[in-house]
Chain A
Amino acid sequence: MQCYLDNSATTRPTAYVADAVRECMLEGFYNPSALYAPALTSEKKMSACREAIAKELHADSRNVIFTSGGTEADNLAILGTMASVRGGRVLFSAGEHPAVRAACESLKDRFDVQEIPYDQTGRIDLAALESLLIPETRLICVMQVNNETGAIMQLPEIAQLRDKLCPQALLHVDGVQGFMRLPVDMRKTGIDSYALSGHKIHAPKGIGALVTSSRVKLTARALGGGQEKNLRSGTENTPGIAGLLAAIETYPKENNMMAVKLHLYEQLKEIAGDRFFVNGPDPREGAAHILNCSMVPVRSETMLYALEGDGVYVANGSACSSRKQKISAVLAAMQIPRKQAESAVRFSLSPYTTVEEIDYAVSCIRRHYDMFKRYERR
């Protein structure tokens, strides 16, 4: 049996999505900028995808820019908005994905770039944020859901603080882990830009989008043929867009992911007893698809490799940084004790994860935990 529990790293495209991509590659391969009739079909597909995204986010479909994925969307939002601004403060939250962190840090020579701390549950420390918001704040970057802990950030409260203390500041939200899994109303909440990625919701890799509010003035990062209203040149990735549209259309928003996750949580708690710790918010309050927990003293890599042998795939922290051997920045920002952090395993589910799969994974975890807990560093 195989059990893939690393859906925050990437998801498996559904057969429906794969068919849509294939059809687009074989039949609808025309360049959407071409003047003959078949090219119009490609363009229509793009418009339909823009509409679907805009509807999901309560935004204007004219402000949807297709990108190669979440990283490019984040980069475009941060560097593209700040290109025409002279000085001021840029804020990003302590557990942001490197796509946001690195883009913000690259602005250090022109802006006062500061980090917004987390509280112990991995959410934004609102009091600290309030003290960081000054009238000269230009940009606030906050992710919708943290990719490692599943903590859901307090976007409405953050937008309200922005409106009160620095109404000119733009609020950029990295929605890569939240899109389709949590409702978003960009207009009502006051979000200025929102980045999303296809491959986290069963679409292919290589497609994403940046959605902006009307008050955002972007400067292009990729220059060329003037596609995407001159904001992102390059022939559009029509198979990716077809796949993204198919994924949005068929994403099962009504699902029992939370129940499946709580089922996993309860069983793991029972296995490790008082050495079980959740890294992040109470599982009932976090995103339904992510559970980050530690079963001390078994180190994350040991558990991960042992499970790999059973066909169970999980992550230690974020896949983007697991090649670096150090404690994850997110867990460090939450001041998780080192020993607990060293055992942190992230389980991430999809709406298609079944209770049977979880039971299989749990039986493997129980076996490995009982065996490896005997060998603790003295």
Chain B
Amino acid sequence: MRQLILVRYGEIYLKGLNRPYFIRTLVNRIKQAVRPFGGKVWLNDSRIFVSDMTDMEACMEKVRKVFGVHSLCPAIEMDKSDFTAVCEKATEMMQGIQGTFKVDSRRSDKRYPMTSPQMNMEMGGYILSRCPQLKVDIHKPEYVMNLEIRDHAYLYVRVIEAVGGMPVGTGGKASLLLSGGIDSPVAGYLIAKRGVEISAIHFHSYPYTSERAKEKVLTLAKQLSEYCCGIKVFVVPFTEPQLQIHEKCPEEYGTLIMRRFMMRIAARIAKNEGSKALITGESLGQVASQTIDALCCTDAVADMPVFRPLIGSDKIEIIRIAEKIGTYETSCQPYEDCCTVFTPRHPATHPKMDHVARAEQCLDIEALVSAAVEGTEVIEL
């Protein structure tokens, strides 16, 4: 008899012939996550098991964050041949519990001498006769004693909801424009959740933004990396484009032209990295550069799809996710991510594409983009 974690996956069940590929990737991701605890991970009978770890709770917390995991259960594995002993163990597990319960059995081993309904009744009766504080409710029980008969018998009560999604790596690669704000880490999280391996691109305007602001972004990236199985951060020197835009372009287009430069630089870095799309934290109408007209202008220079998973979200909804994934507090640290010197007082909210294109003609776009890409610092987290 031993304690282990029984891991269940969700959406992968819907996959057809390529299901093994998804499961194999998921197993690898779980292996990566539990490595610090020395856990063993294996696949058996469409369930993933984790055993022999040094710290069960910490290990479960790690597994809970692996995309593709639907839920996990701390379970007891024991010999299935002695059904009374299994019932005895189940009774012991229910001792400290008060309220209503039922037993829910499944058997993938069809040679087992009892059927699932028989096991439900037998075990339910056994527990009830020894735990007077419990009552049976088969429709809406407060607790469910789960019994799975496979190569062994598995018992569990606690089911911990995990993050869901698809295993990272199964959905290709994309690059996230990561600022120090609340939105972009959430956008990265949501896309990574769909199985996409992400890298992050941050625009650093020293000395208009500080070393601490950069450190904050790296902390955010580190927090994201827990879900994303590691993350590469590209820190782009962005002072020169900003100064030139400020000096030479009409004020009302300042932010927009800056966004277009970010897109051009990001797309180039993304391509070099093998990413097929960009991710931003933009939400429709949140600020002047996030109106439909403004987004059309920024999209026009990115020669790859731009994913904006927060486009229809309110700030409050975004904050809720940020709190859940643990990036909110870091995002709220007061280190600036851009300087107000460069913020136009009256930015254009409905820019015309040809006006913007004309406004930036005075800049040597290619030279500025190449210099920024070349000067980029790469940090692996």
**Residues of A in contact with B (beta carbons under 8 Å apart):** 299, 301-306, 308-309, 323-325, 368, 374-378
Contact = CB atoms under 8 A, between A and B. Distances in A.
Given A305-B209, A375-B243, A378-B345, 7 more contacts: A299-B339, A299-B341, A303-B207, A306-B207, A308-B207, A375-B247, A377-B341
A324 B336 CA distance: 11
B252 to A, nearest CB: 10
Contacts of A309: 206-207
Nearest to B335: A323
Instruction: Determine the main DSSP class of B at the interface with A.
Output: loop
Nearest to B242: A375
B148 interface: no
A324 B341 contact: no
B361 interface: no
Contact of A325 (B208, B209, B334, B343): B334
Interface of B: 206-211, 243, 246-247, 251, 333-334, 336, 339-345
Nearest to B208: A302
11 contacts: A301-B208, A303-B207, A305-B208, A309-B207, A323-B333, A375-B246, A375-B342, A376-B341, A377-B340, A377-B341, A377-B345
Contacts of B208: 301-302, 305
Contacts of A323: 333-334
Nearest to B343: A377
A301 B209 CA distance: 8
A378 B347 CA distance: 12
A375 B208 CA distance: 11
The 9 lowest CB-CB distance pairs between A and B, nearest first, are: A305-B207, A306-B207, A305-B210, A377-B341, A325-B334, A378-B251, A302-B207, A375-B246, A302-B208
A267 to B, nearest CB: 21
B377 to A, nearest CB: 15
Contact of A305 (B206, B333, B342, B345): B206
Contacts of A304: 207, 210
A302 B341 contact: yes
B145 to A, nearest CB: 52
Instruction: Determine the main DSSP class of A at the interface with B.
Output: loop
B339 A374 contact: no
Nearest to A324: B334
A185 to B, nearest CB: 42
B210 A375 contact: no
Contact of A302 (B211, B333, B339): B339
Given A302-B207, A305-B211, A308-B211, A375 B334 contact: no
A341 B177 CA distance: 33
A308 B247 CA distance: 25
Contacts of B207: 302-306, 308-309, 368
A172 to B, nearest CB: 31
Q: Which among B208, B334, B341 has the greatest number of chain A C-beta atoms within 10 A?
A: B341
B336 A325 contact: yes
A237 B336 CA distance: 39
Contacts of A377: 340-343, 345
A230 to B, nearest CB: 41
A301 B243 contact: no
A325 B209 CA distance: 13
A306 B206 CA distance: 7
B307 to A, nearest CB: 31
